[in-house]
Structures are given as C-alpha cells and as structure tokens.
Structure 1
Amino acid sequence: MNAYIFPGQGAQFTGMGLDLYENSPLAQELFEKANSILGFHITDIMFEGSKEDLKETKVTQPAVFLHSVILAKTLGDSFKPDMVAGHSLGEFSALVASGALTFEDGLKLVSQRAIAMQKACELQPSTMAAVLGLEDAVVEEVCKTIDGVVVAANYNCPGQLVISGEVEAINKACEALKEAGARRALVLPVGGAFHSPLMEPAREELAAAIENTTFSKPNCPIYQNVTASAITDENEIKANLISQLTAPVRWTQSVQQMINDGASLFTEVGPGKVLQGLVKKINREAETVSATLDTNA
C-alpha cells in the first residue's frame, strides 16, 4: 500500500518551488492564486528570498504547504494514496492532497495558523529542545519533575523526542535529561513552544477558523498527529486538527500504525527528505522515495 507523507516547518529552502513554477502550467496557476489569497507575493520569497526571509513564520508555513500541495497536484494520475499523514503543519498538506480540504481553504487555514502561532509566541518567551538517545517514557518522566511548563511535543522516531515549554523549564529539563543519560539535549532555534499548552491562545483562534471551514470526506484515511490512527470522519478530522496545536505530534506512532495497516512504500511530498529519514529510523525495512514533478500533468 502507498503512504504519502508531508513535511512540516523546517523543511524550507531557498528556491523552493521554482522548478514546479517553471515546468508546470498547473503549478504556475496555483502559485499565482496563492499570491492573491495571501495578499503578498510569497513566490518571490520562496524562489529568491534568503534563509532569513523564509524563516519568518507567516512565510514558512504557507511556503512549505504550497510546495507540498502543488507538487502533489502536479503528480496527476500517478498520485493514488492508500493513506496519508503529515508532520505538524504537514497535516494540512495531507488534508488538501486527500481531498478533505480545498486548496484555497487549506492555504487560508495555514496562514491563519501561522499568524496565530506567532502571536502566541510573543505572549510568553518559550522554546523547544531535541532530546536524543533516551526512551520516550524516560523523557516524559523527567519532564514531570521540572517546575514550569515542559512537555513532550514531537515523537519523531525512537530515541529522538522534541520537548516544548517555557525557556527556563526547557533549560532545566535539558540538564536533567543529560543527567538521565541523554546523548544530547539541545535547545532548538525556534520562536516558541509549539505543541504545548503555551499554544492555547493560538488553538482558540484557529478553532474558530476550522469550525467555519467546510471539510469533506478524504479519499483515503489520514493518520492524524493527535491520535496516530486512521481517520476518515470529517468531524473527527476537525476536532483533531484543533487539538493539534497544544497536543504532541505522534509521528513515531503514526508511522508504526501505517505499517501495521499495510503501508509498504512511503512517498515524501514536499521539500527535503526529513520524513524519509525518520521513517527509516522507525522501521528499517520500510521503502521510502521522494515525489518528483510530472511535467505532463
């Protein structure tokens, strides 16, 4: 069975999407539509902007989403997913690719999500840290012993978990995790505590937008971050999407479940190969590839 997976924030690179724009009339049309919806020329930043330009949250999230979704749409008849999943922001790409959301509605939600997250980040100094070389349960237990907000945020693969929370609590947790045997506990260069209770203001803001958006039944099951299980019901999809900002990304569990349900090939759709690497660390037997532009679409 074919599983299509969609990357999240951090996969962006200078020049992203330019090959699609130059080689596919459909891609060109969708990029121009995106410029119109967003009210600024995101294509200029994606194709010619610096790394710093691309790091701005209101740019990064729509840019990664657009690269993934437009690439999926240019795959034409070869795009036949039996299941889909996306890492954090990538879940929105997966929902559009599987027909649960329209391109326009998906982009609007991603843009609103980015702005809401930026606002939440500005309310309180917060950050995230990558923890390597410890079992998930040990990381969870250590986090519980720290004063302040610090929680498991991204279960990326066995031995790689990202924690999220208040700056001081994260720093204390990193020290405690090293003492507990972590190979590394490294604060990440991110603007805030994504997938933690500190994103509650953003969750509330995004919830209203999601509730007012029409969702359709997807063409195949989507394995959502919050549950790590196959979902096809529109109302469940909405509820999980609303919970996603303050709940952990259960990527390890999602990939394991997809494999249990018959996934034999994982195709990463979008910038980079980060998710392919994580899939291989979760299950070495899994086959992974990158989606490539079909110029006939």
Structure 2
Amino acid sequence: MASQIRTEEKSVPFFILPFSAECATSLEVLRRNHIDALELIKGEEELASYCYTASTCCLHFSQFRSIVTGANRTELLNALRAEPFCCSKTDDVMKLNSEPESNGPTPLSFLFSGAGAEFFQMGLELYQTCPSYRSHFDDINSQLMDLDGIDLLRWLRDGEEIALYSLISIFALEYSLLQLWADWGVRPTLCVVGHSFGELAAAVAVGGLSLPTAARLVVSLRQSVLRNVKPGRMLMVLVDEETTRALLNSFSQHTIQKFANFLASNYITKATVIPGVFHPYHSRYMIPAPTELLVDLEKLEYSRRHAGVKYISSVYGKPMEASENLVASYWFQGLHKPAQFIGSANSAVTVGGRLFLELSPQPILTGLMKKNCPEANFICIPSLRKNISNWRTIIEAVAALYLHRIEVDWAKIWNNLNDNTNKRVCIKPVPHLLPKYSLPN
C-alpha cells in the first residue's frame, strides 16, 4: 500500500488575470477598467470570480495581449498600475503591449532535465494542492508499486534515501507535469528535448513510450543497475569537451590527486558532484548493466512516435528520423553512452526552436541552453523553481505562454486553482473603436 501525503482540497491563493484586444488603445482601456473594478473588490472569493470570468468568458484576441498574476488583490493592482506596464517579474519571458510578428501561436518545444535536477520535496506543493497533478503522479506511483514495490511518496514526503528513488522521482514529476500541461491544453508543437533520464518523459510526450512501458523500463533499469553496477558518482565541470578530456590522466586508470591538481592548476573551481546520483551513468562503467538490461528491454512493447513533433535525441545529439523509433537498442545505448546535450541544444534551435517550456523540478536545462547557444534568440520558461512556490512559478509560466499566443484551457486551470469556479460576474466591456463614416443623404 502506498504512503499517504496530506492533501488540501481548497482554493489556491493565487490569481491570474488575462486580457486582450485588437488594438493598443483598447488594451489600455481594459487595463484601466480592471484597475477600477479591482479597487472595489472585497475578499478572495470575489477576486477569484472576477479573474475566472475574465479568463473563461472573454474573447482572447491574438493581436494585443497582457496578463497579470499575483497572490492577492494588491499584487494584481500593483502589476496593473506599474509604469511602464509590466505583468510579472519573471525573467526573460514577458513581452507586453507589443504587436506580434504574426497572429498565430509561437511554435512550442518542451525540455526535460535529468540527473542533478532533483531535490527533497520537489513538486510537493502541487501534489498537495493540485488534483490533476496528484492524479497523474499517483498513476505512475501505483504502477511502480505493482511492478517493484517502489513507493515514491516515501522519498517525496520523508526524503528517505532509497536506491535510485531520486532519479525515478524525476521521471514521475516530469510525467505528471507533462500530463498536467496537456490537461490545460498545452502540448509541444515543434520538438522535445530530453537530457539523460529526461528522455523518458520526452519519449512519452511524443508517443514513443506508453506509461506502462515507461514504468517497466524504469523498473528494469533500476534492477539491472543495482545488481550489476558498482556505486560511483558524477562530476559536473563547467568547461568544454576538449578540456574535460584532458582531465583524465589515462583511459585505464584515474587518480583523485592528479584530477584535483589539474583542476587547481587550471583555475577550474566550478566542479560539482551531482547530488542524488550514486552510479556513473553515461560511462563505460555502466556496460555490465546493459548486457542484461537489453534482454529485459526487448520484451517491452514500443510505440511509433507521433508525426509532426521532432524528437531530438541526447544520445545522438540531433533529431531522430521519422523512421527511427525509441526501441530497446536506443535505451540500451543511452545508459552507457555520453549525453550529447550540446548537439541537442543546437539542433533544437536549428529546427526553429524559439519558445521552450522546461518540465523539470528546476530550470537546469534553461541555463545550459543559454550557455551553449549564446547567439540564438529564444526564450525558456520554467514550470517549477527550487525554493519558490510551485503555484507562483507554474502560473507565471501560463502567463508567459499566453503572451506568446499559446491557447490554454482556462476552465481547467481554474478548476485546479479555485474550488468555487462557477461564479461569474459582470466585467465592463471596451467600446468598439470604429472609424467614423460620412453617410450619403
């Protein structure tokens, strides 16, 4: 029986107010109308009804859009009154009151991080307060329980250190975020990029893995690694590949002292042992595991990927051809071959990636994308951040997507935000600013 985590079936104290118009003048009139209306509102229930009505009952034009988010009426009013008008403090994602290059939505790509992104109680706030997220997390957790007795709630709730639980939790969280975004009407339209363990959720996103197959793959991976691979660690060094290769004093033997001396002599201080990772993934030391693992993986049923959304492989560092599928041999290679994320990042930009949504515990890949593609013009939006409210981050992500003409299901978003969403109120409309005509006698 799975562990229990206290949940809260009540309204989330967070609000989102989108508005749009066909011209800048009308948008400004709407802003002033919202300020006047919010100044008269008393209480969170009335505020929620007002924002719910604006979200679900008003037309959403593509030409000019703005949006404000906040935990209370004061935050919403401060954002609406800001000069120049600004709807959020989220970095690098808000472009307001500007006419878009086109009226259509920006092509959207998804990023999925791997080892090193996990931390204690990641996504716990969403699990406790978001029914849709909790339902999807429980789906994957129940399958893992049935297959191998893996109860991720023990790690999520108590931080209990159980072999590979932190890495498996990354997949569970990313899968749950993927399904939550889908519930809200948000899906990748251009490409998906998964790094290391993040490739599992990326494969689900394009139909290459079903949930039952992904769960069995995760269990087979865990069992094989625990039986066949000696413990080890992974080190993140922020230098290029050529310099990293020079860190290794030979192909057969490595000494800690020489490694440390090399770091010191070359002034490389940004070297970090990746937390929560206790096996040397993506290295030849994993080879004992794949031999047995391949036999198990070949017993699984794999699906053809959906057409239209590119799958950019971090095993190959490039997009996979439409004829290539994510079968046993692919996952076999991914365990012991280096992750080619630099190639993946460049490929994502090359195929036209300009808007990325990262589905991970914290925006690890956002920084790597910016570092490896410094000349490219793109925006990365985090779904979650460490040490920041889950709801604040994900609602600001909704706001950023809205500004880039990504259509969302507002009713379903409010079903998760507020338990009293069927109340609608009157919102003052904007008069149509029609040109004057001279009518003949």
Q: Same fold (TM over 0.5)?
A: yes
2:315 to 226, 230, 233: 226
State the 1:106 CA deviation.
0.8
State the 1:142 CA deviation.
4.3
- 1:131-210 alignment, distance < 5 Å: 131-132=237-238, 134-143=239-248, 145-146=249-250, 148=252, 168-169=254-255, 171-180=257-266, 182-188=268-274, 190-210=277-297
Aligned to 2:111, the other structure's residue is in SS state strand
Give the letter aligned to residue 85 of structure 1.
V
State the 1:181 CA deviation.
5.2
> Which structure features the higher share of strand residues?
1
1:85 to 171, 182, 193: 193
What 5-or-longer segments of structure 2 have no aligned partner? Answer: 1-106, 384-393, 396-411, 417-441
CA contact (8 A) 1:61 1:114 kept: no
1:104 to 212, 217, 233: 212
CA contact (8 A) 2:297 2:328 kept: yes
State the 1:194 CA deviation.
1.4
Distance 1:173 1:91, change over 3 A: same
CA contact (8 A) 1:4 1:83 kept: yes
Show the counterpart of 1:290: 382
**1:270 partnered with 2:356:** no
Aligned to 1:266, the other structure's residue is in SS state strand
CA contact (8 A) 2:228 2:288 kept: yes
Show the counterpart of 1:281: 371
1:241 to 286, 309, 331: 331
State the 1:230 CA deviation.
0.8
State the 1:95 CA deviation.
0.5
State the 1:174 CA deviation.
4.0
Give the letter aligned to residue 179 of structure 1.
S
Q: Distance in 1 between matches of 2:178 and 2:224?
A: 26
Distance 1:250 1:183, change over 3 A: same
Show the counterpart of 2:120: 14
CA contact (8 A) 1:4 1:267 kept: yes
State the 1:199 CA deviation.
0.1
TM-score scaled by length of structure 1 = 0.80
Q: Distance in 1 between matches of 2:223 and 2:331?
A: 16
For these two proteins, the number of residue pairs brought into alignment is 272
Per-residue CA distance 1:130-167 (angstroms, 9 max, x = gap): 223x4311322443x42525xxxxxxxxxxxxxxxxxx
State the 1:203 CA deviation.
1.7
State the 1:280 CA deviation.
1.6
Show the counterpart of 2:30: none
Q: Distance in 2 between matches of 1:22 and 1:199?
A: 37
Aligned to 2:250, the other structure's residue is in SS state coil
Q: Cα RMSD over matched residues?
A: 2.7
Q: Distance in 2 between matches of 1:171 and 1:130?
A: 17
State the 1:269 CA deviation.
0.6
CA contact (8 A) 1:31 1:43 kept: no
Give the letter aligned to residue 49 of structure 1.
D
Q: Distance in 1 between matches of 2:298 and 2:257?
A: 36
CA contact (8 A) 2:225 2:289 kept: yes
**1:216 partnered with 2:303:** yes
State the 1:257 CA deviation.
1.1
TM-score scaled by length of structure 2 = 0.56
Distance 1:171 1:56, change over 3 A: farther
Give the letter aligned to residue 98 of structure 1.
V
CA contact (8 A) 1:121 1:192 kept: yes
Aligned to 1:194, the other structure's residue is in SS state coil
**1:119 partnered with 2:227:** yes
Give the letter aligned to residue 91 of structure 1.
E
CA contact (8 A) 2:140 2:211 kept: no
Distance 1:142 1:250, change over 3 A: same
% same residue: 25
CA contact (8 A) 1:16 1:46 kept: no
Q: Distance in 1 between matches of 2:370 and 2:347?
A: 14
Distance 1:16 1:233, change over 3 A: farther
CA contact (8 A) 1:148 1:169 kept: no
Runs of 4+ in 1 over 6 A off after TM superposition: none
CA contact (8 A) 2:116 2:274 kept: no
State the 1:242 CA deviation.
1.3
Distance 1:223 1:62, change over 3 A: same
State the 1:249 CA deviation.
0.7
Per-residue CA distance 1:34-92 (angstroms, 9 max, x = gap): 33322246343244122xx2x53431122110111111111122113311111111101
What 5-or-longer segments of structure 1 have no aligned partner? Answer: 150-167
The worse-fitting range, judged by mean Cα deviation, of 173-182 and 94-103 is 173-182
Q: Distance in 1 between matches of 2:272 and 2:181?
A: 38
Give the letter aligned to residue 261 of structure 1.
V
Aligned to 2:136, the other structure's residue is in SS state helix
